[in-house]
Amino acid sequence: MEYNDQIKNRVKRVEGQVKAILRMMEENKDCKDLIGQMSAARNALDRTIGLVVSTNLEACIREQIVEGEDTEPLIQEAVNLLVKSR
C-alpha cells in the first residue's frame, strides 16, 4: 500500500503531540493536562489507524472484485485489524 501525504501528515501531528507530552512530563505539568494530551494523541492515532485500514480495504476489495474473487476474507481481516488496534 502506498501511504499518501494525508496519512503521513496525521502521523506527523501525532508525533508532535507525543513530543509535547514528553516536554510536559519534563516540566512536571499537571496530570490533568498531561492525560488530556495523551488522550488526544491516542484518538488521533486511532483515527489514523481507521483511515489506513479503510483505504487499504477499499483498494484490496476493488482488486478482488476485478479478479472475481471473494471479498469476505478481506473484510474479516480488516475488522480483525481494527479490533486488534483497540
The residue ranges of every structural domain in the chain are 5-85
Architecture per CATH, domain 5-85, reads as Up-down Bundle (1.20)
What pLDDT is stored for residue 29 in this prediction? 96
Q: Quick one: pLDDT at residue 36?
A: 95
**DSSP letter string over 19-86?**
HHHHHHHHTT--HHHHHHHHHHHHHHHHHHHHHHHHHHHHHHHHHHHHTT---HHHHHHHHHHHHHH-
For residue 56, pLDDT beyond 90? no
Instruction: Provide the pLDDT for residue 44.
Output: 95
Q: Which residue has the cell 512536571?
A: 28
Count of CB atoms situated within 10 Å of the CB of 3: 13
